[in-house]
Structure 1
Amino acid sequence: MKVSLKNYTFRYLTISLLAVIAIWALLFHTFILDEVYDNVDDGLKNQKIEIIRQSYIDPSVIKTNKFGLNQFRILPVDEAHYDESNRLTNEMIFMPYDGEDEPYRVLRTGFYGRDGKMYSLEIRTSTVEEDDLIYDLSISLFALYFFILVSILMINHFGLSKAFKPFDKILKQLQNYRFGQSKELEKVETNVVEFELLQTEISSMINRNEQVFNDQKLFIGNASHELQTPLAIAINKIDLLLEQGNLEEKEYIQLADAKKSLWRMVSLNRSLLMLSRIENHQYQEKERINFNKIIEEILEDYESIFETEEIIVKKEFNTVFETMFNKDLANILISNLIRNAIKHNNKEKLISIKINNLNEIIFSNTSDLFALNPNEIYNRFYKQGFSVESNGLGLSIVKTILKNQQTIHIDYQYKDGLHQFILRK
């Protein structure tokens, strides 16, 4: 799922912070415990010196063989178990107040008493409960983590939103930009070097593309015009030769075929020019179009062709099909679909145009062809069957028009022996 840049960075900051705080908590816990034990150990060692010193002053101290209020005891030991080194351990000792074992730090050492005998000294003191420390530390770190995330979210929302305002304006202008519009992008004031550079590069790119677009449009227009002129001249000369009447039948047929080829070239040139104009977005104006009316008008224009070809046209309009569309492209769209039905018909000579209650326009025609490949029929120069009159651009123009207008899409199906092209909103 796509997310905004702010949410994208926030998501990774959340994960990264969680890992950083977890590592930091582990190190912090180890450091705190080390400091606690270090301070406790210093206290135990100091207490050891004071107890030994007091035992020389007051011999009764030597008789403290049980842990009492002072939390130490002195026991006589033999030479085999005598050890003057400081031995520090962590032990769990039962506490009557809590009714459970609690952590203690214990110092064990040995010393010679005033009487010259060897004694063992044990001093213990309560230390922090490690599980409680971990619990308290976890709660504190979770609160800190939550506070940091909320802070980052607020900074993202207010700070980054303000910082990214120029970027949003540049992006909005790009979204509204269309080729062929001479209007330049409005300059967005920003103190961010990257945004300023982006704006400069975009403006430069648009200027280059506009220049290429205008050159291409001019070339296509000139090429089409220059091509139409010699074609018209060649057709007129062939007409003059055919009107002389002194040609043999074979020559007459050859000239007639040449004239047909030239007319196909004229048709091809017009179709390619039309495709180019549509793809260059030269038909941008839209209005609400009544396609029922467009179909009626085009059918009237083709009435003489229907009579000549003896084609039966059936109409069934159950509703009004209206949508936003360029008027010129709407006429070209419907005309191409009707011409396609005429060119690829068979001896049954049937064309059906239906507008149903599902807001669909269905163009159906009989044909000697079976089901066509819907992935290929809209490709340029793809021909259905072996029709000589077809230049393979009719359905390609239809598809290009619909892609340009983006209010209608087309589907193809072969049903009950009929080829059907269906326009849907």
Structure 2
Amino acid sequence: MGSMNKLLNRPLKAFTLYALLVLACSIPVYYFIVDYIWRNELDEYNEIVRNRIESGLNKLSLDKEEWAQTIALWNKTQPGTKIEKSLFQESRSDSIYTIIRQKQSANDEDLERFRGLSSYIKVQGELYHLTIEINVEEAHETVFAIAAVTVLFFIILLAGFVILNRRIATQIWKPFHSTLDRLKSFDLNSQNNINLEKSDIQEFEQLNQALYQLIAKNISVFRQQKEFTENASHELQTPLAVLKSKIDLLMQNESLTESQSELIASLNIPLSRVSRINKNLLLLAKIENQQFSEGELVNMSELVNQNLDFLEEHLRARNNTVEMEICEHCYITANRSLVEIMLVNLLLNAIRHNYENGAIRIELTDKSLTISNTGTEPLISETLFKRFITSSTSTPSSGLGLAIVQEIAHRYDWKVDYHFINNFHQFSVLF
């Protein structure tokens, strides 16, 4: 599984990318709008200057020689304007233009943009061509200024997104995290309804109601399954005992033929398995219903040695060797019967699923119990502790041994782990 992202970060990333895209697109838009407004302002300014020049010149009373000198002086002292005698007899319409030329007294590479007005004016009855040009600010300076302001606002906007997202999310998602924590601590075995924090957010309240219904349904189904298993096991116990005693009586009948004896004897194997399953189901029901007494101080070192002696015949039958590394005085607080059942199930599992001349290792510390046995390939850990799941079809088993181990560990909040290391199946109970 790849790296997980928080739900809150996803909309923040989307908002950030969207804001960045919009602000990036706004830079050229701002530039063209500002440039358009600025050019219109310059055009209006040039028109005002044109009218002032025409009005001012017409107020002068000069002869032709003085007028020629005045025009020449004007063109020298007013570099942004130029007055020339018109080549046309009649006035023409004004024209507006933009021109880019080199700066005066500057390097050839330095260019300037000018906004110009070409117009015709009548001064003292004669037609003159008037040109007015005004410098437009450098385009790249405008773009840089707009970009700098845009970046500044983007940083402010992003910081605001992050701060608001964290502050608002803390309050908005508080009921959700509360619900999540209570779901994590919910135990179906307790059969207690869950109490979720109320929320004024519609979606979270709908989630709570759906969870209430789901949990109530699961508790009901779980309770029915437990009652059925417990009742069925109790009801089967007597018939199975009667059936076994009848088979034992038949086996003692001397009038039976050899084939009849073999047939009756073959019934003992499945009957024993059914009896064992029934016994284990009853045990699981008792553990789940917490019908065992409270804990006591159990000497684990002593318990391991006692049960190894009890299982010595099983070990000898398969010629399995046992290696032990046990602390001398290891104690835990639990019900002694349950701890012994857990220990025996782990030892029997190591013996049954071992091969001839295999090895078994037992390690005991004050923090854990580890029982390992030789094997050829790892087991499927996902189904290992489920009921009626056996890892081998060649070895008779009820499929409940490891499920019982898991249930006992769960009762005391212990953890059961499985690993396959160096051709050894390793089962560990962490106290």
Change (3 A) 1:294 1:236: same
Corresponding residue for residue 44 of structure 1: 46
Answer yes or no: is the 8 Å Cα contact 1:108–1:120 preserved in 2.
Answer: yes
Q: Which moved more, 1:286-295 or 1:53-62?
A: 286-295
User: Counterparts of 1:175 and 1:331 in 2: how far apart (Å)?
Assistant: 30
Corresponding residue for residue 239 of structure 1: 248
User: Counterparts of 1:224 and 1:231 in 2: how far apart (Å)?
Assistant: 10
List gaps (5 residues or longer) in structure 2. Answer: none
1:155 lines up with 2:164 in the alignment: yes
Corresponding residue for residue 263 of structure 1: 272
Corresponding residue for residue 147 of structure 2: 138
Corresponding residue for residue 27 of structure 2: 25
User: Counterparts of 1:287 and 1:133 in 2: how far apart (Å)?
Assistant: 84
Corresponding residue for residue 315 of structure 1: 323
Match of 2:134, SS?
strand
Q: Which moved more, 1:181-190 or 1:150-159?
A: 181-190
User: Counterparts of 2:10 and 2:332 in 1: how far apart (Å)?
Assistant: 37
Offset, 1:144: 1.1
Aligned residue among 194, 203, 210 for 2:203:
194
Change (3 A) 1:242 1:292: same
User: Counterparts of 1:323 and 1:17 in 2: how far apart (Å)?
Assistant: 63
Q: In angstroms, what is the RMSD of aligned CA positions?
A: 4.2
Aligned residue among 214, 220, 228 for 2:237:
228
Letter in 2 for 1:24: S
Corresponding residue for residue 420 of structure 2: 412
Answer yes or no: is the 8 Å Cα contact 1:64–1:73 preserved in 2.
Answer: no
Aligned residue among 2, 5, 8 for 1:3:
5
Match of 2:269, SS?
helix
1:108 lines up with 2:118 in the alignment: yes
Match of 1:5, SS?
coil
Match of 2:126, SS?
coil
Structure 2 matches for 1:217-366, cutoff 5 A? 217-270=226-279, 292-303=301-312, 305-306=314-315, 309=317, 311=319, 313-317=321-325, 331-343=340-352, 348=357, 351-355=359-363, 361-364=370-373
Offset, 1:318: 5.8
User: Counterparts of 1:362 and 1:236 in 2: how far apart (Å)?
Assistant: 37
Give CA deviations for 1:153-180 in whole Å, capped at 9, x if unaligned: 2212222212222222222212221213
User: Counterparts of 1:321 and 1:64 in 2: how far apart (Å)?
Assistant: 117
Corresponding residue for residue 371 of structure 1: 376
Corresponding residue for residue 205 of structure 1: 214
Offset, 1:235: 0.8
Offset, 1:264: 1.7
Offset, 1:292: 4.6
TM-score (norm 1): 0.79
Corresponding residue for residue 37 of structure 2: 35
User: Counterparts of 2:268 and 2:134 in 1: how far apart (Å)?
Assistant: 115
User: Counterparts of 1:77 and 1:196 in 2: how far apart (Å)?
Assistant: 85
User: Counterparts of 1:150 and 1:189 in 2: how far apart (Å)?
Assistant: 32
Corresponding residue for residue 422 of structure 1: 426
Offset, 1:80: 11
Aligned residue among 12, 15, 23 for 1:13:
15
Match of 2:361, SS?
strand
TM-score (norm 2): 0.78
User: Counterparts of 2:231 and 2:306 in 1: how far apart (Å)?
Assistant: 32
Corresponding residue for residue 57 of structure 2: 55
Letter in 2 for 1:140: V
Match of 2:137, SS?
coil
Q: Which moved more, 1:234-243 or 1:329-338?
A: 329-338
Letter in 1 for 2:114: Y
User: Counterparts of 2:330 and 2:90 in 1: how far apart (Å)?
Assistant: 106
Corresponding residue for residue 135 of structure 2: 126
Q: Which moved more, 1:64-73 or 1:400-409?
A: 400-409
Give CA deviations for 1:395-425 in whole Å, capped at 9, x if unaligned: 676688889967342223675xxxx322356
Change (3 A) 1:16 1:167: same
Letter in 1 for 2:229: I
Aligned residue among 71, 76, 82 for 1:73:
82
List gaps (5 residues or longer) in structure 1. Answer: none
User: Counterparts of 2:360 and 2:354 in 1: how far apart (Å)?
Assistant: 12
Q: Which moved more, 1:212-221 or 1:282-291?
A: 282-291
- Count of paired positions: 412
Answer yes or no: is the 8 Å Cα contact 2:43–2:96 preserved in 1.
Answer: no
Answer yes or no: is the 8 Å Cα contact 2:191–2:223 preserved in 1.
Answer: no
Offset, 1:151: 1.7
Offset, 1:273: 6.6
Q: Which moved more, 1:394-403 or 1:102-111?
A: 394-403
Match of 2:28, SS?
helix
Identical residues among aligned pairs (%): 21
